[in-house]
């Protein structure tokens, strides 16, 4: 099937954190891996966002026909924030019928807040680009969720809501998760099956690692978490094969 455009949504795994072109070597933040948030929500004004080596960009190449590609992933994003960026695209009529939307859902323990109108706040506590919550030790988790099962229910609501909006438009939606711990499928496999929620095996695909800047040693080093270029290639090939097999 040919699609008009490809959209990807997700967290740092989909943004392409730590890939070679994500290090801005000039300017006030030259020592940091820049992880911008999207600012343009029309196809005409869209500016390239995320890495050109990210799995989504490589998937676009596998789909062929020079398919237009739009990446709206944000490093540190929670599933709530992923839905926020999907909603922004829909509100601006950016996603259209016969577009392909691939969502890489993240851990249900990632927390995100929004207040002051429509301004997203994805730094909690201040200074951290997102926060990975450990529900067994971090009381902040319980500010949003009473326990892991409640977190699963709420995150599944986000996922279903996004799919309902996109299906109403007439877009084709593919749902994947990064295979991190604390995912809704572990709590409610019979519910997640209705979304065809598929394991993308991103952790398994880490044949190499992305890099980040170490403020202490003043050098770039393997972050031992995110996949490198070869890993993103493997993930793109896996997702493409899954699409060819399952439609």
Q: Is 234 helix (H, G, I), strand (E, B) or coil?
A: helix
**How many domains is the chain partitioned into structurally?**
1
Q: Does the structure show a pLDDT above 90 at 156? A: no
Q: Output 21 or 182, whichever has higher pLDDT.
A: 21
DSSP state of 34: -
**161 near 83, Cβ under 8 Å?**
yes
Burial class from Cβ neighbours inside 10 Å (0-12, 13-18, 19+) for residue 173 reads: buried
The answer to whether residue 166 is domain-embedded is yes
Range of the domain at 79: 6-246
The answer to whether residue 209 is domain-embedded is yes
Q: Give the E-state strand segments of the chain in sequence order.
A: 6-9, 69-71, 100-105, 110-111, 113-114, 120-121, 131-132, 172-177, 198-199, 209-214, 219-227
The answer to whether residue 214 is domain-embedded is yes
Q: Is 101 helix (H, G, I), strand (E, B) or coil?
A: strand
Q: What is the dihedral of CA 127, 129, 135, 139, to 10 degrees?
A: 20
The answer to whether residue 231 is domain-embedded is yes
pTM of the prediction? Answer: 0.85
The answer to whether residue 1 is domain-embedded is no
Q: What CA–CA distance (Å, rounded) separates 104 from 44?
A: 25
Q: Does the structure show a pLDDT above 50 at 209? A: yes
Question: What percent of the chain clears pLDDT 70, i.e. is strictly above it?
Answer: 72
Please state, rounded to an integer, the average pLDDT across all residues of the chain. Answer: 80
Confidence category of residue 184, pLDDT binned at 50, 70, 90? low
Confidence category of residue 161, pLDDT binned at 50, 70, 90? very high
> DSSP string of 156-198?
HHHHHHHHHHHHHHT-EEEEEE---SS-HHHH-HHHHGGGT-E
Q: Does the structure show a pLDDT above 90 at 231? A: yes
Confidence category of residue 126, pLDDT binned at 50, 70, 90? very low
Least confident of 58-67, 82-91, 180-189, 206-215: 180-189
The answer to whether residue 15 is domain-embedded is yes
57-109 per-position pLDDT tens digit:
999 999 988 999 999 998 888 888 899 999 999 999 999 999 999 999 988 76
The answer to whether residue 22 is domain-embedded is yes
- Phi then psi for residue 187, to 5 deg, are -90, -40
pLDDT of residue 195: 79
Q: What CA–CA distance (Å, rounded) separates 145 from 147?
A: 5
The answer to whether residue 56 is domain-embedded is yes
Question: What percent of the chain clears pLDDT 90, i.e. is strictly above it?
Answer: 38
Q: Does the structure show a pLDDT above 50 at 223? A: yes
Q: Does the structure show a pLDDT above 90 at 234? A: yes
Query: The domain spanning residue 81 has which CATH number?
Result: 3.40.50.1110
């Amino acid at each position: 099937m040919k699609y008009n455009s490809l959209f990807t949504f997700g967290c740092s795994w989909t943004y392409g954190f730590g890939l070679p072109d994500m290090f801005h070597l000039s300017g006030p933040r030259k020592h940091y891996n820049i992880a911008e948030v999207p600012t343009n929500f029309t196809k005409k004004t869209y500016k390239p966002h995320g890495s050109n080596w990210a799995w989504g960009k490589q998937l676009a190449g596998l789909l062929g026909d020079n398919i237009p590609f739009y990446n709206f992933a944000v490093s540190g994003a929670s599933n709530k924030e992923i839905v926020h960026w999907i909603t922004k695209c829909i509100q601006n009529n950016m996603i259209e019928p016969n577009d392909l939307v691939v969502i890489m859902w993240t851990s249900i323990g990632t927390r995100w807040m929004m207040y002051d109108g429509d301004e997203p706040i994805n730094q909690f506590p201040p200074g951290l680009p997102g926060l990975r919550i450990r529900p067994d030790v971090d009381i902040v988790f319980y500010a949003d969720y009473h326990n892991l099962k409640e977190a699963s229910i709420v995150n599944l609501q986000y996922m279903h809501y996004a799919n309902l909006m996109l299906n109403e438009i007439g877009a084709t939606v593919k749902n994947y998760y990064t295979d991190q711990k604390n995912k809704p499928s572990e709590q409610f496999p019979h519910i997640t099956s209705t979304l065809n929620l598929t394991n993308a095996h991103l952790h398994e695909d880490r044949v190499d690692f992305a890099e980040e800047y170490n403020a202490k040693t003043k050098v770039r080093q393997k972050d031992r978490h995110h996949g490198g270029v070869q890993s993103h290639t493997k993930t793109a090939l896996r997702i493409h094969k899954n699409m060819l097999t399952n439609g």
